[in-house]
Homo-oligomer: A and B are copies of this chain.
Amino acid sequence: MAKELKNLTKRSEDYSKWYNELVVKADLAEQSAVRGCMVIKPYGYAIWEKMQRYLDDMFKATDVRNAYFPLLIPKSFLSREAEHVEGFAKECAVVTHHRLMNAPDGSGVVVDPEARLEEELIIRPTSETIIWNTYRNWINSYRDLPILCNQWCNVLRWEMRTRMFLRTAEFLWQEGHTAHATSEEAEARAIQMLDVYADFAEKYLAVPVVKGVKSANERFAGAINTYTIEAMMQDGKALQSGTSHFLGQNFAKAFDVTFVNKENKPEYVWATSWGVSTRLMGALIMTHSDDNGLVLPPHIAPIQVVIIPIYKNADQLAAISAHVDPIINRLRELGISVKYDDAENRRPGFKFADYELKGIPVRLAIGARDIEEGTVEIMRRDTLEKHSAPLEGIAEYVATLLEEIQQGIYNKALRLRESMTRPVDTWEEFKTEIEKGGFLLAHWDGTTETEEKIKEETKATIRCIPFDGDTTPGTCIYTGKPSARRVIFARNY
C-alpha cells in the first residue's frame, strides 16, 4: 500500500489520471465487466450510505415520502413528451426478450427468438413517464395534492464516454417527483429542494456551490426551468452536482393527469422533479483530495478517527489499549465513529499511509512514551499537520478538531472558487481566461445560438444564471448585443 500510494499520479501532472487512480487506490470503486458500469466497493459505498441517510432525513423533514416505481418503462411512454424522448431515446438500454435458451450447437445460451416482447421495454433513464402514468390514478381533486414522492434507485443511460462516479451507464440516485395544484407551489418546491441540495453539499460534503437556473440549452428534457447547484473542482472545471426541475404541466398533459380545482374546474397538475446521484461522490473526491490520497470532510467520513498503537511487545500493547479503551468509549458517546487498529500484521508506517490514502480526518498515534507523558500524537488529514495533545480530555479535543477540519476544508474550497471566479468583459479576454480554468462571469445575449457558438469555440458552457451576484445589464461578449446580466461560463465535467 505504501508503494501503491507513491504511485499516485500528482494532480499537477494529470488531474484526470490522478482522479481515476485515486478512485481505485482508495478502494472506492472499480470498473466492472460490463461496459460503463462500475462496482462500488464497501468503502465507497459506506460514504454513499451516509449521503443517503442525511439527504433522506432532509427530504423527510420537508414531508417527502419514499416509494418505488418499476425499473422498466414501456417504450411508447417515452414518446408522449416530445422533448423528453429527444433527450433520452438515443441512450437507453432496450429489453426485447424475456428468455434465453440453450444454443442448438451447445455453445452456451442464446436469446430465445420465441420470447420476443410485444412492446419493448426500456430501463429507466429517469422515471417521469412511468410515475406520471401512475399519478393519473392517484389524483382526482385538489384534496389529493400535493403528492411528494421520492425514490432511491438505479437508472441507466447508455453514455459513450464514462468515468467512475462522474458519468457511468448505470448510476445510483434519488429522484423526487412532486405534483401540485398551482404553478407557484410547484416552482417553490423546485427551489426548496435545490436549497436542500445546496445545504447538504455545503454542510456535509463541504463543497461550496453556486445556485442558479440553467439556460434553455442546458435544461432537462421536458422541463420549463432547471435549477442547479454548480461546484468547482480543483482544476477549475465545473461539476453540476444536483438539479431540480419545474416541469410545468408538460408531463400532466402527456399522461392526462388532471384534478378538479377549488373552483370545481378540471385543470392539469403541476410538477417538479429533482435528483442527485453517485456523481456527488465525484464532486466530493475532486473538491478536497490531494496528492497523498482522499481527503474526507468529517461529517461524511465513515470513519472519523483512527487510533494506532505504537508498540514493541504484547505488554506495551496491553498498556496502551487500557488507556485507549475509555477514549474510544467517550468518542462514541460523542457520536464520533472511531476505529482502533491494533492489527499485528501491518506496521504503523503502512497503516499511516493507508489511512492517509483513505482520507480518515484524524489520526491518533499512541506509544509507550506517550502513555508515560500523558500525551498523544494527532495528525489531521486535511493539512497533514502533526501535533501533540494531552490524553486528558482528548475526546472532547478531537470533537472540536473535527468541526474545525470540516470548516477548514469548506473554507479552502470556497477560497479556491472565489480566487478562480472573475468577470471578463471582452471576447479576447474570455478566450484567454477560459484556458486558465475557473468560472467566468460574462455578459451573454440570452440566445441559444450564441451559447452554442461560444461552446464550439471554447468548450465553455453556461453553468447557470446565478441567483446571487451582479445583475447590472451590459453587452454580450460574443455578439455585442444587450445582456440582462452576467452569467457563469466554465468548462465542465
- Using a CB–CB cutoff of 8 Å, the interface residues on chain A facing chain B are 30, 32-34, 37-42, 45-46, 48-49, 65-79, 85, 89-102, 108-109, 111, 120-123, 130, 133-134, 137, 143, 149, 153-154, 156, 158, 170, 172, 345
Contacts and interface: CB of A to CB of B under 8 A. Distances in A.
Q: Which of A85, A95, A123 gathers the greatest number of chain B CB atoms within 10 Å?
A: A95
Contacts of A120: 111
A39 B68 contact: yes
Contact of A93 (B98, B108, B158): B98
6 contacts: A68-B172, A71-B156, A75-B109, A89-B109, A95-B95, A96-B111
A45 B33 contact: no
B79 A90 contact: no
Contact of A111 (B94, B101, B108): B94
Given A37-B70, A39-B67, A92 B100 contact: yes
A287 B173 CA distance: 34
B130 A33 contact: yes
Contact of A32 (B32, B69, B102): B69
A70 B170 contact: yes
B89 A65 contact: no
A60 to B, nearest CB: 10
Contacts of A76: 108-109
B96 A97 contact: yes
Given A34-B72, A72-B34, A89-B109, A97 B94 contact: yes
B90 A75 contact: no
Contact of A89 (B69, B85, B100): B100
Given A33-B130, A72-B170, A93-B97, 4 more contacts: A41-B67, A42-B149, A71-B170, A89-B99
Contacts of A101: 89-90
